[in-house]
Structure 1
Amino acid sequence: MSTKNCNPLNSVYCNLKIKLAGNLSEKDLAGLYSCTLCNDCHTADFNRGAREMAVSRSLVAPHVSTIGRNIREKGNPYGISGNRAGSGKCDTILFRGCTPTYKAPEILAAVESLLGKKGVQYGLIDNETCCGNVLFNLGDKASGAEVVRANIAKFKAAGVKKIITVCPGCYTSFNKYYKGQDGFNPEVVLAVDLLSGFTLAGDFAIQDPCHGKEKSEVVRSLLPGSANKSVSPCCGAGSGVMTHDRLLASSKAEKAVGASQSKIVTYCPFCYLSLSAARPEKVSDIYVMLDKHARPSAPAHE
Structure 2
Amino acid sequence: MEIMQKNRSVSEFMLLGLTQDPTRQKMVLITLLIFYVGTVMGNLLIIVTIKFSRTLGSPMYFFLFYLSFADTCFSTSTAPRLIADALSAKKVISYNECMTQVFVLHLFGSMEIFVITLMAADCYVAIYKPLRYPTIMRRQVCIILIILAWIGSFIHSTSQIVLVLKLPFCGPNMIDHYCCDLHPLLKLACMDTYMINLQLVFNSGVICSSSFLLLMISYFVILHSLRNHSAEGRKKALSTCTTHVIVVILSFGPCIFIYTRPPITLPMDKMVTVFYTIGTLFLNPIIYTLRNTEVKNAMRKLWSVKTTESN
Instruction: Give the structure-2-normalised TM-score.
Output: 0.30
Report the structure, 1 or 2, having the larger helix content: 2
Q: Rg larger in 1 or in 2? A: 2
Instruction: Give the structure-1-normalised TM-score.
Output: 0.31
